[in-house]
């Protein structure tokens, strides 16, 4: 079936593009304008002096995009993957900058926004793509306009606004692995056209790619219910209000890894005892849940032709229960049950000015957030059963003030200048307690005997930074923009929530902030009306990088390493430089071509460490920036044909490439992903004046095996250690029918 599908798609070449028909049954003979809000105001993407990729709802649907991480195939120098051992937690890197550790208290390096509401925690940030107007991916630090934790870039998820005409959509999908999805959305006025209510709900289910072999439960499955409800009020052209509520419930089983420990004939436990990379012998249990909810109120006043004011008030909270089996074996050699809680309240005010030659925005931002959780490290081979309980809480209050101005000197030259002041206050509580027994009282073992706390402290610190930006833009004609931009990004410091204060007393003092100074030169041009070509060259000076390092320790003094110590510290400095190119061409009336390529040379220039005798040394030559392949690329084609008077048949083929990269700073040949090439293809038939769409989508049609994450504890767990890999999806084929009314 897969071979026939590939042949059918290749016969009608096509690729995923970000310009498609807007509910009309003709293929455009020109590149349609794409409007974004990357600079907090509506602009054509070709007028924005920074590297940004954007995808409209029609494009996302045509590509068959289901989750936001699939967009890494279509954007250069971007990594979006599920955090290791999770289904719905996002690991995001842009141009070599991000954060792979999802533990409470550790800040992400790439900001995620839903309708300009910042999502502070990565749990639940692997957003499903539905009820969306567009998605924007901003590359490079956004320290002025977006602020905290956008040191690598930003992902913007923009939902649809409603019109007064009642309408809706039903979308159903069936696929292999018993995939069954149903998405229903709609809206209608309430009494008058000024007040509109709308919403959407999605039920997304799929069997696992593998199984928990001891129990037969599914591994890598999907079981999700999510929805959104909005109330919009527009009594006049000068005022708009939106009240939005969203909920997510993900009951997909905990994702367990595949043992890649080398075979040792003297150690039966180190054998690779199963054949399927999606299977696991994990005995910790499969029950996993992620629950998130959000409420937001956006109000916008257009004061006059030049000034407008916007207020965005939002609250979000989430809870995650997840068990991780680090040995992926039935015995509890190295099991980690965990839970996460988070709660945040944000308020932002924006005042915008749009004059003939000057455009500006000024604003205030406030965040009050709390992130907490606990986990057990259960080690059955230590003292007949030994457990480390790690728990903690981080309260963050953040305040920021910012302003940004674009001054157009004349029709060709303009200047951008702005700055943001941010102050973060953090209060923490960190507990690390040892127990005899398999599990602590926190996770149900009331019989566990406490050996005392090795870490039990509270502390607080404040971090502040000014993050400016400056740029010069030159447009020699209406079709070309060249720009030079400087941006500073900032991620505040904090405290190591895994810290062992007994083994490393300095952990109580916390770690410092990260800073990146980024320089970018870019050109955006339209070649005639059919081709758009955008390029960027960048250099980033990344300072005081926050890195989690893990090493084995002897916790009971018997001379044998029996557990691990994690320490987050400012590990040094790095430099990133690279180039990006994005091209879309409507080559003929029927054929569209999409191409992008990215290159990143990211390396540590300073990584302090110690030799075996305790002398300080520089380890930068033996370290590498994680989650950052040197090369990424994508080539796609789409071919559209009219069918009858009201139909349009489109075929798409897309090939993406990601080079090899490391999961951690140290090279781990057993764990690190090799280069991978993925082939996706689709057939889309739109009929009935655009109301009915039938599509057949295939992903990873060559069934490429590729890693996306893992853990490495060579001295912990069973004899032979615990080294696990997690893999990307195998070949999947989905048939979708969508009806718009």
- pLDDT tens profile 152-181: 999 999 999 999 999 999 999 999 999 999
CATH code that applies to domain 2-161+169-740:
2.40.170.20
pLDDT for the residue 32? 87
pLDDT for the residue 273? 55
- pLDDT tens profile 491-538: 999 999 988 888 778 889 999 999 999 999 999 999 999 999 999 999
| Mean pLDDT of the chain, nearest integer | 90
| Local confidence band at 20 (pLDDT 50, 70, 90 cut-offs) | very low
Please name which of 608, 609, 652, 600 lies closest in space to residue 628, comparing C-alpha atoms: 600
Q: Quick check: 123 pLDDT over 90? A: no
- pLDDT tens profile 300-342: 999 999 999 999 999 999 999 999 999 888 889 999 999 999 9
Please name which of 589, 568, 714, 609 lies closest in space to residue 103, comparing C-alpha atoms: 568
pLDDT for the residue 429? 98
Give per-residue burial for 30-45: e unless 16+ CB within 10 Å, then b: ebbebebbbbbbebeb
pLDDT for the residue 156? 97
Dist CA 103 CA 97 (whole Å): 17
Q: Quick check: 580 pLDDT over 90? A: yes
- pLDDT tens profile 125-157: 888 888 899 999 999 999 999 998 999 999 999
Least confident interval from 57-66, 96-105, 534-543, 609-618: 609-618
Q: How big is the CA angle at 563 (ends 446 and 710), to the nearest 5 degrees?
A: 105
Residue 564, token pair as written in the block: 């691990």
Residue 650, token pair as written in the block: 């489109």
Q: Quick check: 563 pLDDT over 80? A: no
Residue ranges covered by each domain of the chain: 2-161+169-740
Own/partner pairs, 436-440, CB within 8 angstroms, 24+ separation: 436/383, 436/384, 436/385, 436/386, 436/387, 437/385, 437/386, 437/387, 438/332, 438/378, 438/380, 438/385, 438/387, 439/337, 439/376, 439/378, 439/387, 440/376, 440/387, 440/389
- pLDDT tens profile 424-482: 999 999 999 999 999 999 999 999 999 999 999 999 999 999 999 999 999 999 999 99
């Amino acid at each position: 079936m897969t071979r026939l599908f590939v042949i059918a798609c290749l016969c009608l070449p096509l690729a995923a593009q970000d310009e498609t028909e807007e509910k009309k049954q003709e293929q455009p003979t020109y590149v349609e304008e794409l409007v974004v809000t990357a600079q907090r105001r509506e602009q054509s993407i070709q007028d924005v002096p920074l590297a940004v990729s954007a995808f409209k709802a029609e494009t996302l649907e045509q590509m068959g995009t289901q989750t936001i991480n699939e967009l890494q195939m279509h954007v250069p120098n971007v990594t979006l993957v599920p955090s290791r051992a999770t289904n719905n937690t996002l690991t995001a890197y842009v141009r070599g900058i991000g954060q792979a550790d999802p533990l409470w208290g550790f800040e992400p390096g790439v900001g995620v926004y839903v309708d300009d509401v910042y999502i502070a925690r990565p749990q639940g940030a692997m957003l499903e793509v539905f009820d969306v107007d567009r998605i924007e991916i901003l590359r490079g630090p956004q320290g002025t306009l977006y602020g905290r934790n956008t040191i690598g870039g930003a992902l913007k998820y923009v939902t649809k606004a409603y019109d007064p005409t009642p309408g809706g959509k039903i979308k159903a999908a069936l696929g292999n692995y018993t995939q069954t999805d149903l998405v229903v959305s709609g809206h209608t006025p309430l009494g008058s056209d000024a007040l509109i209510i709308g919403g959407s709900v999605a039920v997304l289910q799929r069997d696992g790619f593998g199984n928990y072999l001891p129990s037969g439960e599914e591994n890598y499955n999907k079981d999700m219910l999510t929805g959104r409800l909005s109330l919009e009020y527009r009594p006049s052209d000068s005022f708009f209000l939106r009240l939005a509520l969203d909920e997510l419930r993900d009951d997909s089983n905990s994702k367990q890894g595949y043992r890649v420990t080398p075979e040792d004939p003297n150690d039966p436990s180190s054998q690779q005892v199963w054949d399927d990379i999606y299977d696991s012998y994990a005995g910790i249990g499969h029950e996993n849940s992620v629950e998130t909810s959000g409420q937001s109120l956006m109000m916008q006043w257009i004061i006059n032709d030049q000034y407008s004011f916007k207020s965005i008030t939002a609250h979000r909270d989430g809870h995650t229960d997840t068990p991780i089996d680090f040995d992926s074996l039935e015995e509890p050699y190295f099991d980690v049950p965990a839970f996460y809680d988070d709660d945040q309240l944000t308020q932002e005010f924006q005042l915008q000015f749009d004059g003939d030659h000057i455009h500006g925005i000024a604003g205030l931002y406030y965040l009050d957030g709390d992130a907490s959780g606990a986990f057990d490290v259960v080690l059955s081979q230590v003292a007949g059963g030994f457990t480390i309980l790690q728990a903690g809480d981080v309260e963050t209050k953040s305040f920021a003030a910012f302003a940004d101005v674009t001054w157009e000197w004349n029709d060709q030259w303009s200047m951008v200048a702005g700055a943001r002041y941010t102050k973060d206050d953090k209060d923490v509580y960190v507990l690390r307690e040892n127990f005899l027994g398999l599990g602590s009282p926190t996770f149900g073992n009331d019989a566990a005997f406490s050996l005392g706390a090795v870490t039990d402290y509270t502390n607080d610190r404040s971090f502040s930074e000014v993050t400016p930006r400056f740029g010069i833009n030159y447009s020699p004609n209406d079709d070309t923009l060249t720009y030079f931009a400087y941006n500073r990004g900032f991620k505040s410091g904090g405290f190591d929530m895994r810290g062992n204060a007994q083994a490393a007393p300095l952990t109580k003092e916390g770690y410092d902030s990260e800073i990146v100074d980024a320089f970018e030169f870019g050109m955006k041009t339209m070649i005639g009306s059919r081709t758009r070509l955008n390029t960027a060259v960048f250099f980033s000076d990344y300072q005081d990088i926050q890195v989690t390092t893990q090493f084995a320790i002897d916790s009971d003094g018997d001379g044998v390493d029996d557990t691990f110590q994690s320490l987050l510290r400012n590990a040094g400095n790095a430099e990133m430089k690279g180039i990006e190119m994005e091209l879309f061409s409507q080559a003929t009336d029927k054929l569209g071509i999409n191409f992008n390529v990215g290159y990143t040379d990211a390396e540590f220039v300073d990584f302090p460490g110690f030799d075996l005798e305790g002398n300080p040394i520089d380890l930068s030559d033996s370290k590498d920036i994680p989650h950052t392949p040197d090369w990424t690329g994508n080539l796609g084609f789409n071919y559209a044909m009219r069918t009858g008077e009201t139909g349009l048949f489109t075929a798409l083929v897309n090939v993406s490439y990601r080079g090899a990269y490391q999961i951690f700073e140290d090279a781990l040949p057993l764990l690190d992903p090799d280069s991978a090439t993925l082939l996706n293809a689709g057939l889309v038939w739109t009929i009935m004046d655009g109301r009915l769409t039938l599509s057949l989508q295939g992903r990873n049609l060559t069934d490429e095996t590729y890693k996306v994450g893992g853990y490495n504890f060579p001295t912990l767990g069973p004899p032979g250690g615990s080294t696990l890999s997690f893999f990307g999806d195998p070949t999947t084929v989905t048939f979708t029918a969508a009806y718009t009314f």
